[in-house]
């Protein structure tokens, strides 16, 4: 399981930049990011090298931030690769709340981050279907 | 109880005392204040025509504009001869009003505050931290003299510099905090930031007033500060804080009937309403010397009951003030009080009461936006979670008030914190 930071952002100038400044000043490196937005707010989701520290420095600077656990999957960077990894979850009735990807620098595989409601059930399904789940240590140190 | 003889006086005796004191007050204003002389002449009456407490309803109201029109000393009974103190309202809504006190007035005010502080548990050994503003505002000095009268130890810190307030409360062993309820929340939040647990303090109770606050807000303050929170009511035109105060039963505020006569009226028609009905509170002072007021319209919305209270005090109880007729927003013809929105937010449970109402006009249509600060408990990393929260707030408001609103979740600490009275409403319609 990988720890993801979620941050509430009002849709106003400079908030996104401020997040990266705060993390930069604390020596925290962003590994992956995704943003979900509506017309008046956004939720920024980050994978960083030091999630607990990131959450506490952001809170100190007045951001609403929380830690959520997500699953990191390695899927072959080929057509149909994603579907193959996700279909066992669907068959097991595990709903995917959201997912996003980041491409690694050195390998032929893509990394997918998946947020589900029941993380333990999802991990079990993935294991039974031999879908490789990436450890948090590897993600933080990428 | 600070003064059992008066606070628990049998009601028949109290009524006789009230009538006697009312007669003296009416004679005094008729003799000494041209404004009241004119009023009596206009209705073709003299003070002697008021033969019972019920007859008081025959007299016209005194309103804030009467104080403004007679600014500064026109309604004083004897100029400045016996006046030893001046206080003033802030004047943010126009000309300030000035009020004066004789030495005897100040003694009575201190007596009323001693009753209120005793109701909130203050005794000789208490350390009373007064974070109401000191100065022309009646809050600071009003509580101050009451606490000294009890013989408590007073910390006259006034408002502002919240971190220093927390440190002082901890170091000095404060047992009672007196300030506005919105500032009490600010203090609680600052304690959290400073990572000070309320258990490290000696704080036992709080006496909060000068702005309307809900029972839900009381629960939040009591939980966060681990204290018992008491409401206190007053207004400078009548005296200042201490006109009414909660006893440990917390089922309404005992209004000091040996010094004031209270009525509830329909704010639109001016008709006196029966006991228990909700309307605007009207107060007549019956012992004030420097500046008596007859049937002063407070703009505060409440109800009165004379039912006996378990605490033994016999003075009537007023309900917690639910709003002010002049705070009342009229949005698309619907009356809206910020306190109603506050109780909805608190009922949802996940929220802390940091909110602001922004009223605007688009074309001919009033719009209401409710800004609510997001808290940890409310936060979700999923868009549908936050949209669901916005919808829940919208639906609750629509159910209660029958108006549609826009709800905007905002980041923590983006709504300005109060160091005195909270500014809950931004009405942009007035700027046009």
Mean pLDDT over B27-33 rounds to 97
Range of the domain at B197: 1-252
> B168 and B72, same structural domain?
yes
Q: How much is the pLDDT for B51?
A: 95
Query: Which residues of chain B have a CB within 8 Å of the CB of A62?
Result: 411-413
Q: How much is the pLDDT for B318?
A: 98
Please give the residue of chain B at the shortest CA–CA distance from A40: B408
Mean pLDDT over B47-73 rounds to 94
Does residue B423 carry a pLDDT above 90? no
Distance from the Cα of A64 to chain B's closest Cα (Å) equals: 6
Check CB contact under 8 Å for B381 and A63.
no
CATH code of residue B360:
3.30.300.30
> B358 and B244, same structural domain?
no
Nearest to B100 by CA among B118, B85, B111: B85
Phi-psi region at B278: left, alpha or beta (left = phi > 0; alpha = psi -120 to 50): beta
Q: Is B364 within a domain?
A: yes
For residue A41, give the nearest of B381, B386, B412 by CB distance. Answer: B386
> B222 and B337, same structural domain?
no
Check CB contact under 8 Å for B413 and A62.
yes
Q: Is B285 within a domain?
A: no
Indicate the number of domains in chain B.
2
Per-residue pLDDT band for B432 (boundaries 50, 70, 90) equals very low
Identity of the highest mean pLDDT range in A5-9, B94-98, B360-364 = A5-9
For residue A8, give the nearest of B379, B408, B413 by CB distance. Answer: B379
Last residue of a domain, one of B252, B267, B293: B252
Rounded distance between C-alpha atoms, residue B74 and residue B375, angstroms: 50
Please give the residue of chain B at the shortest CA–CA distance from A67: B381
Angle at CA of residue B256, ends B253 and B257, nearest 5°:
115
Question: Could you report the predicted ipTM of this complex, rounded to two decimals?
Answer: 0.83
User: How high is the mean pLDDT of chain B?
Assistant: 92
**Cα pseudo-dihedral A126, A129, A135, A139, rounded to 10:** -80
Write down all domains in chain A, each with its CATH number in brackets: 2-68 (3.30.2130.10), 70-140 (3.30.2130.10)
> B246 and B394, same structural domain?
no
Query: Which residues of chain A have a CB within 8 Å of the CB of B358?
Result: none
Last residue of a domain, one of B197, B217, B252: B252
Rounded distance between C-alpha atoms, residue A53 and residue A57, angstroms: 6
Nearest to B244 by CA among B210, B275, B272: B210
Query: Which residues of chain B have a CB within 8 Å of the CB of A37?
Result: 383
Check CB contact under 8 Å for B376 and A64.
yes
Check CB contact under 8 Å for A43 and B374.
no
Q: Is B259 within a domain?
A: no
Q: Is B132 within a domain?
A: yes
Rounded distance between C-alpha atoms, residue B259 and residue A84, angstroms: 82
Strands A30-37 and A41-48: antiparallel
Rounded distance between C-alpha atoms, residue B105 and residue B98, angstroms: 15
Chain A interface residues (partner B, CB cutoff 8 A): 4, 6, 8-10, 15, 36-38, 40-41, 43, 45, 62-64, 66, 68, 97-98, 115
Distance from the Cα of A120 to chain B's closest Cα (Å) equals: 19
> B247 and B368, same structural domain?
no
> B203 and B66, same structural domain?
yes
Per-residue pLDDT band for B411 (boundaries 50, 70, 90) equals very high
Check CB contact under 8 Å for A64 and B379.
yes
> B65 and B185, same structural domain?
yes
Q: Is B270 within a domain?
A: no
Last residue of a domain, one of B234, B252, B270: B252
- How many other C-beta atoms lie within 10 A of the C-beta of residue A130? 7
Distance from the Cα of B199 to chain A's closest Cα (Å) equals: 23
Check CB contact under 8 Å for B412 and A62.
yes
Distance from the Cα of B316 to chain A's closest Cα (Å) equals: 46
Q: How much is the pLDDT for A107?
A: 67
For residue B383, give the nearest of A15, A36, A62 by CB distance. Answer: A36
Provide φ and ψ at B113, rounded to 5°.
Answer: -70, -35
Please give the residue of chain B at the shortest CA–CA distance from A62: B412
Q: Is B338 within a domain?
A: yes
Check CB contact under 8 Å for B411 and A10.
yes
Q: Is B401 within a domain?
A: yes
Express each pLDDT in B210-267 by its tens digit.
887 888 889 999 999 999 999 999 999 999 999 999 999 999 999 999 999 999 999 8
Does residue A90 carry a pLDDT above 80? yes
> B117 and B29, same structural domain?
yes
Nearest to B319 by CA among B328, B331, B311, B309: B309
Q: Is B35 within a domain?
A: yes
CATH code of residue B137:
3.40.50.12780
Does residue B325 carry a pLDDT above 90? no
- From the number of C-beta atoms within 10 Å of its C-beta (0-12, 13-18, 19+), residue A120 rates as exposed
> B184 and B57, same structural domain?
yes
Distance from the Cα of A39 to chain B's closest Cα (Å) equals: 11
């Amino acid at each position: 399981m990988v720890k993801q930071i979620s941050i509430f952002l009002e849709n106003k100038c400079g908030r996104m930049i401020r997040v990266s400044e705060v993390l930069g000043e604390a020596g925290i490196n962003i590994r992956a990011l995704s943003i979900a937005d509506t017309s008046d707010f956004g939720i920024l989701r980050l994978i960083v090298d030091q999630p607990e520290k990131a959450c506490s420095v952001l809170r100190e600077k007045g951001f609403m931030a929380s830690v959520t656990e997500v699953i990191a999957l390695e899927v072959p960077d080929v057509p149909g690769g994603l579907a193959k990894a996700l279909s066992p979850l669907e068959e097991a009735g595990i709903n995917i709340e959201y997912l996003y990807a980041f491409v690694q620098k050195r390998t032929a595989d893509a990394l997918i981050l998946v947020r589900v409601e029941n993380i333990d059930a999802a991990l079990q399904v993935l294991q039974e279907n031999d879908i490789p789940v990436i450890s948090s240590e590897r993600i933080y140190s990428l | 109880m600070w003064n059992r003889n008066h606070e628990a006086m049998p009601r028949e005796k109290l009524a006789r005392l009230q009538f006697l004191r009312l007669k003296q007050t009416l004679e005094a204003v008729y003799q000494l204040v041209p404004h009241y002389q004119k009023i009596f002449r206009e209705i073709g009456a003299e003070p002697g025509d008021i033969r019972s407490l019920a007859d008081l309803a025959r007299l016209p109201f005194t309103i804030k504009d009467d104080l403004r029109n007679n600014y500064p000393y026109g309604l004083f009974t004897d100029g400045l001869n016996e006046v030893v103190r001046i206080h003033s309202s802030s004047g943010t809504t126009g000309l300030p009003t000035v009020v004066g006190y004789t030495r005897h007035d100040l003694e009575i005010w201190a007596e009323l505050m001693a009753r209120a502080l005793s109701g909130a548990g203050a005794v000789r050994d208490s350390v009373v931290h007064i974070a109401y503003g000191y100065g022309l505002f009646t809050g600071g000095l009003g509580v101050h003299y009451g606490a000294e009268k009890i013989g408590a130890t007073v910390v006259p810190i006034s408002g502002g510099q919240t971190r220093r307030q927390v440190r002082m409360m901890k170091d000095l062993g404060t047992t009672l905090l007196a300030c506005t309820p919105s500032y009490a929340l600010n203090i609680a939040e600052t304690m959290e930031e400073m990572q000070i647990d309320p258990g490290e303090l000696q704080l036992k109770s709080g006496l909060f007033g000068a702005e309307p606050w809900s029972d839900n807000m009381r629960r939040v303050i009591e939980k966060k500060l681990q204290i018992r929170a008491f409401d206190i009511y007053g207004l400078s035109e009548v005296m200042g804080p201490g006109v009414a105060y909660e006893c440990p039963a917390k089922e309404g505020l005992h209004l000091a009937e040996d010094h004031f006569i209270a009525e509830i009226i329909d704010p639109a028609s001016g008709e006196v309403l029966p006991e228990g009905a909700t309307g605007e509170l009207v107060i007549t002072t019956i012992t004030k010397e420097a500046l008596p007021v007859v049937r002063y319209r407070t703009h505060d919305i409440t109800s009165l009951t004379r039912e006996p209270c378990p605490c033994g005090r016999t003075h009537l109880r007023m309900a917690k003030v639910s709003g002010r007729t002049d705070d009342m927003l009229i949005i698309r013809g619907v009356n809206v009080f910020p306190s109603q929105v506050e109780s909805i937010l608190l009922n949802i449970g996940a929220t802390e009461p940091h909110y602001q109402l922004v009223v605007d006009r688009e074309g001919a249509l009033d719009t209401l936006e409710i800004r609510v600060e997001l808290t940890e408990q409310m936060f979700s990393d999923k868009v549908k979670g936050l949209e669901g929260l916005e919808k829940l707030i919208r639906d609750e408001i629509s159910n209660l008030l029958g108006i549609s609103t826009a709800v905007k979740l905002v980041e923590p600490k983006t709504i300005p914190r109060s160091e005195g009275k909270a500014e809950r409403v931004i009405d942009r319609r007035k700027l046009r």
